[in-house]
Amino acid sequence: MTIYYYGGLNPMSTVLKKKVKQQKLISAIKEIEPVITKDDYESSLHRAFNYHNYNTPNKKLKDWAVLYTKKNFPKLVSAVSKAPEWEFTTYAVIAHHLLKGQYIAPEESQRLNDRLQSIAARYSIAEEKATETKLVVDIQKRIYDTAVVLSDEIDYQIDAFLKTKIVPDFSAMAYLRSKEVSGPVAKKIGEFYEGWLYEVEEALAGTDEDLVDGYSNFTKTQLKKFYKFIEDIINDCKQFVVSSKGARKPRVRKQKSPLQLVARMKYMKEDGDLKSVNPVDLIGSKEAWIYNTKYKKLMKYASADNSGLSVKGTTLINYSTVDSVGKTLRKPEEVLQNFTRKWLNDSLKKLKTKASTPNGRVNQDCIILKVF
């Protein structure tokens, strides 16, 4: 190529040469699938992850995982086949290269096998009894099938983010309302994305090397935005379930005591000078302050109505998604020195870190700082 300027010839510019070189490199990546070798294991494994991240669709990844399962764990094929594509990701890459007879470290192979066992356990469905003579309408299957159809639009919005790295102008709550979705279907839709949220959380934390490699084409900021986008979808589904129940005449149920409601709650009793208050105090409270010691995140939960906060399993419920907020603490010791209501609210407002809507989950990393 030659470039004309001012009536004369100019040799190919440095910028243009660089673009041509990059294009050749991208073309080479697309055409040649890397081979994983024992001598150059770490580097060749990383090249393989990058290659499949750019060139292999999720459907193909799932096909590889199912094929590997059929060859090594034939009894699990039925259950594994029912799992959605996002369950496999980088594990399918390992399966593919094992099927091709290439070297994979024993610990990687074991992680793949453990993953398939876990997937099979979660998606296995008991066979119908041979003696059953009546046709029984499977309500749960009907809910699942409806949720699958209605989640197509959400999948489309997620794909749009993955391609552009830009958060779409999309509200799952508004979408569910427009489709007049039932509470159980909304709940099932939210559950579809919980595994994905956990996966992105692990990638952000850097605790799973495979997931870190799998999301290596995202910057940390982009991955955090993706996490928040998925988190908002799940929270919208949960809140939609709560609001849809309010529209029906509630079924009269035997009231559980506060002690029964928090019986299954997992929380951290103490961490140095920080000590949790009794979780029983959460029931009926108007405001609760939770601190996640692992992610250094301070969360304020404000009740959605006069009945106050409550607990279901290990999750806080009946909180307002508008008035509840969470922020990361860069210097926890400066904030966590006083637990009066005024101090906590003033400290939270002064924090420069980005605000997010908490998801209600309380686990063994969480201190219940104060309840009002």
Q: What is the DSSP string of 243-298?
A: HHHHTSPPPP-PPPPHHHHTTT----SEETTEEPPPGGGGTT-SEEEEEETTTTEE
Of the listed ranges 19-23, 27-31, 137-141, 161-165, the least confidently predicted one is 27-31
Other C-beta atoms lying within 10 Å of the C-beta of residue 82: 14
Helix (H) or strand (E) holding 366: strand 366-371
The 10s digit of each residue's pLDDT in 229-274 is: 999 999 999 998 888 776 555 566 778 888 888 888 889 999 888 9
Residues linked to residue 126 through DSSP beta bridges, in sequence order: none
Query: Phi and psi for 153 in degrees, rounded to 5?
Result: -65, -40
Among candidates 140, 163, 171, 164, which has minimal Cα distance to 58?
Answer: 163
Q: What is the pLDDT of residue 3?
A: 41
- For residue 245, the number of C-alpha atoms closer than 13 Å in the C-beta half-sphere is 12
Q: What is the pLDDT of residue 231?
A: 92
Other C-beta atoms lying within 10 Å of the C-beta of residue 67: 15
Tokens of 278: 């009794």
Reduce the DSSP state of residue 56 to 3 states and report it: coil
Per-residue HEC secondary structure of 20-33 comes to: HHHHHHHHHHHHCC
The 10s digit of each residue's pLDDT in 300-336 is: 999 999 999 999 988 999 999 889 999 999 988 888 8
Residue with tokens 């209600």: 360
Residue with tokens 């790295």: 165
What DSSP assignment string belongs to 337-357? T---HHHHHHHHHH--SPPB-
Q: What is the pLDDT of residue 203?
A: 86
CA distance 280 to 266: 12
Of the listed ranges 68-72, 85-89, 134-138, 189-193, the least confidently predicted one is 134-138
- Average pLDDT for the chain: 84
- Model confidence at 6, pLDDT cuts 50, 70, 90, reads very low
Q: What is the pLDDT of residue 28?
A: 47
The 10s digit of each residue's pLDDT in 206-226 is: 888 888 888 888 888 999 999
Q: What is the pLDDT of residue 235?
A: 92
- Model confidence at 5, pLDDT cuts 50, 70, 90, reads very low
CA distance 191 to 356: 20
315-317/310-312 β-pairing? antiparallel
Q: What is the pLDDT of residue 4?
A: 40
Q: What is the pLDDT of residue 251?
A: 65
Average pLDDT over residues 7-33: 54
Q: What is the pLDDT of residue 206?
A: 84
Q: What is the pLDDT of residue 26?
A: 52
The 10s digit of each residue's pLDDT in 119-153 is: 888 887 544 443 344 444 578 888 888 888 888 88
Q: Where are the alpha helices (DSSP H) in 36-88?
A: 41-55, 58-72, 77-81
